[in-house]
Amino acid sequence: NNMLVWFRSDLRTKDNPALAHALQKAQDQHESEPGRRKALVIALFVLSPSEFRSHDVGAVKVDFILRNLATLSEILWESYRIPLLVKTSSSAADVIKDMHQLCNAYSVSDLFANQEYEIDESRRDAKLIKSLPNDHVEFHLHQDQCVVPPGVLKSKSSNLTYTVYSPFKRMWFDVVKKSKDKYLTLARPLSDFPSPMNSVADLESLSIAHPDAIPDVLKGFELEAEKKKHLEELWPAGEVNALQNLDKFCSGAGKHESPGITAYNDARNYPNLENGTSRLSPYLAVGALTTKQCIVKAMEANGGKLDTGSSGIVTWIQELIWRDFYRNVLVGFPRVCMSKPFKLETMNIQWLFEDDVFQSWCYGKTGYPIVDAGMRQLQKTGWMHNRVRMIVASFLTKHLLHNWQHGEKFFANSLIDGDFASNNGGWQWVASTGTDAQPYFRIFNPYTQSEKFDPDGVYIKRWVPELAGLKTSAAIHNPHSVLSAKELVKLGYREKPIVDHKVARERAIAAFKLVLGKG
């Protein structure tokens, strides 16, 4: 009658409903039958390289997952004597088989997990829910990814899934304010339960001693040693670091050098500001942190208010609501999980594809400094500022007229914060193929975006060192307007921009107009 907690995208112990409910059930059983051996609580993570591949999870995120698993394992064992078993499975079908075997081997009566909403994951869980009762195992699925779970908020006029963010957000605020306890209470902390949770002798009798070592690398997902070290410094793993970063961001004094949450309204648009945004996305993506923890902390900094008070704080909360919005879209319109655009008619857009053009975009060699800077930041750090994500995505889909799905895949493979719903939602917004998308005729001008949001070229110079010596603003944002091809080649930069802005813009509008009509 043991409890198995299956960790997936929730690599933390705090605010973890699946874990808290498993402990609660073990405790309740013990209290109702004190004479019986107390149920053991065992934790599990299934590593599936083939799933990583099929979902375009790249080496940078895999490395971060492994590092987070190591810290999770340490906390679970050191504080609670809960072993974290890390099993490798070769396919989704094998995961189901393996779960049955594990439940048998460890006399599991109850399996606990937090829900994942993507289509493959939902189908896997549905299959498991159907099959486990044959083994007398109950599967308990909890919600942790959203503050308001998908499907709860429906458009007032049509009772259908919201496809526009603003009314969704208004409804979200209404509902959460009315039922704060329901939506903003964190899962029961582990400190509420006796520690250690398990008797080591009982664990040994089931041949579970100390947790297995977390594999260092997975074949095909290795990182170069230097890059790995750099990423470890930039993104230290684990919920302790995640919560510390959240605290720091929320207590930011609002100064220009370290803006923090109260200055977020303005600072969030400037990619050169190190702390203009929270940089918590990698932790949210692996579940070392929850949206709820972020909102609770932000409200503390806002005197308990949710949608009034500091405009910086309210804007930050609104960004977090985008996470709920895109998960809601994913559940309401599962086609977005099946390689289809939200607006089906955009499948008729006559995209181009040229591999060398695409590679130039991927590796920051387009001749547009702000685009190149963004793509190189991504390569070096596994992360890119949101403003620049929008600029580079617009450049690929509009200026280069390449299908957004190539960009989505490349991002998923390169990002440390790769998250299907936000990545897909972000790409489809920019490409004008999604819910509430950018109108197709409104095309970002990379030169003016660059002048506006990186006025001194600090961000560009940092990531495109060839241009670091340029003095005038015109040269930094549009070097081809000032320097000759020869001078640029001497600096090591691209002789000519990959496309002419005006020509590319007109080409994009024409291609989109054919499909999306009125312009």
Q: Confirm whether 226 is a catalytic residue.
A: no
User: Is 423 a binder of ligand FAD (CB under 6 A)?
Assistant: yes
Residue number, nearest CB to ligand FAD:
426
Task: Give the active site residue among 383, 427, 429, 463.
Answer: 427
Cβ atoms 497, 503 nearer than 8 A: no
User: Is 418 a binder of ligand FAD (CB under 6 A)?
Assistant: yes
Shortest separation between residue 105's beta carbon and ligand FAD, angstroms: 36
User: Is 415 a binder of ligand FAD (CB under 6 A)?
Assistant: yes
Task: Give the active site residue among 1, 77, 241, 322.
Answer: 322
User: Is 284 a binder of ligand FAD (CB under 6 A)?
Assistant: yes
Shortest separation between residue 496's beta carbon and ligand FAD, angstroms: 26
Q: Which is nearer to ligand FAD, 337 or 430 (CB)?
A: 430
Shortest separation between residue 181's beta carbon and ligand FAD, angstroms: 23
Shortest separation between residue 455's beta carbon and ligand FAD, angstroms: 20
User: Is 328 a binder of ligand FAD (CB under 6 A)?
Assistant: no
Q: Confirm whether 404 is a catalytic residue.
A: yes
Near ligand FAD by CB under 6 A: residue from 11, 19, 86, 280: 280
Reference 324, options 246, 412, 182, 422; nearest CA is: 422
Shortest separation between residue 314's beta carbon and ligand FAD, angstroms: 13
- Helices 386-394 and 369-381 pack at an angle, to 10 degrees, of 120
User: Is 430 a binder of ligand FAD (CB under 6 A)?
Assistant: yes
* CA dihedral (151, 156, 159, 164) positive or negative: negative
Q: Which stretch binds ligand FAD (CB under 6 A): 207-215, 358-366, 425-433, 464-472?
A: 425-433
Q: For residue 161, which phi and psi values (nearest 5 degrees)?
A: -55, 135
Q: Binding mask 239-278 vs ligand FAD (x if CB under 6 A, - otherwise)? A: -----------------------------x--------xx
Residue 68 parent element (H or E): helix 59-80
Shortest separation between residue 62's beta carbon and ligand FAD, angstroms: 15
Q: Is 154 helix (H, G, I), strand (E, B) or coil?
A: strand
User: Is 319 a binder of ligand FAD (CB under 6 A)?
Assistant: yes
User: Is 322 a binder of ligand FAD (CB under 6 A)?
Assistant: yes
Near ligand FAD by CB under 6 A: residue from 5, 11, 223, 320: 320
Binding region: 264, 277-281, 316, 319-326, 417-419
Task: Give the active site residue among 319, 413, 445, 466.
Answer: 319
Near ligand FAD by CB under 6 A: residue from 427, 440, 444, 459: 427
User: Is 289 a binder of ligand FAD (CB under 6 A)?
Assistant: no
Q: Is 47 helix (H, G, I), strand (E, B) or coil?
A: strand
Q: Which stretch binds ligand FAD (CB under 6 A): 83-91, 138-146, 226-234, 279-287?
A: 279-287
Cβ atoms 5, 46 nearer than 8 A: no
Binding region for FAD: 264, 277-281, 316, 319-326, 417-419
Near ligand FAD by CB under 6 A: residue from 6, 139, 326, 440: 326
Q: Is 287 helix (H, G, I), strand (E, B) or coil?
A: coil
What is the secondary structure of 216-255 as a DSSP string?
S--TT----HHHHHHHHHHS--SHHHHHHHHHHHHT----
As a whole number of angstroms, the distance between CA 89 and CA 98 comes to 8
User: Is 393 a binder of ligand FAD (CB under 6 A)?
Assistant: yes
List of residues 6+ apart from 168 with CB closer than 8 A: 153, 162, 321, 324, 325, 328
List of residues 6+ apart from 393 with CB closer than 8 A: 404, 407, 426, 427, 430, 431
Instruction: Give me the count of residues in the chain.
Output: 519
Q: What is the CA radius of gyration of the chain?
A: 24
DSSP conformational letter for 395: I
Q: Confirm whether 322 is a catalytic residue.
A: yes
What is the secondary structure of 158-225 as a DSSP string?
TSSB--SHHHHHHHHHHHHHHTHHHHHPPPPPGGGS-SS-S-HHHHHHTT--SPPPPPS--TT----H
Task: Give the active site residue among 1, 241, 269, 386.
Answer: 386
Shortest separation between residue 283's beta carbon and ligand FAD, angstroms: 8
As a whole number of angstroms, the distance between CA 145 and CA 294 comes to 12
Give the up-direction half-sphere exposure of residue 81: CA atoms within 13 A in the CB hemisphere.
Answer: 15
Q: Confirm whether 495 is a catalytic residue.
A: no
Task: Give the active site residue among 383, 404, 429, 463.
Answer: 404
As a whole number of angstroms, the distance between CA 339 and CA 332 comes to 15
Residues near ligand FAD (CB under 6 A), total = 28
Q: Confirm whether 427 is a catalytic residue.
A: yes
Shortest separation between residue 115's beta carbon and ligand FAD, angstroms: 18
User: Is 323 a binder of ligand FAD (CB under 6 A)?
Assistant: yes
What is the secondary structure of 475-497 as a DSSP string?
HHH-GGGTS-HHHHHHHTS-SS-
As a whole number of angstroms, the distance between CA 305 and CA 316 comes to 13
Q: Which is nearer to ligand FAD, 349 or 421 (CB)?
A: 421
Near ligand FAD by CB under 6 A: residue from 38, 292, 389, 398: 389
Site for ligand FAD in 65-104 (CB under 6 A): none
Q: Which stretch binds ligand FAD (CB under 6 A): 69-77, 125-133, 201-209, 314-322?
A: 314-322
CB atoms closer than 10 angstroms to residue 155: 14
User: Is 419 a binder of ligand FAD (CB under 6 A)?
Assistant: yes
Q: Which residues pair with residue 139 across a beta bridge?
A: 111
- Contact positions toward ligand FAD, by CB under 6 A? 268, 277-281, 284-285, 319-320, 322-323, 326, 386, 389-390, 393, 411, 415, 417-419, 422-423, 425-427, 430
Please give the positions annotated as active site: 319, 322, 351, 386, 404, 427
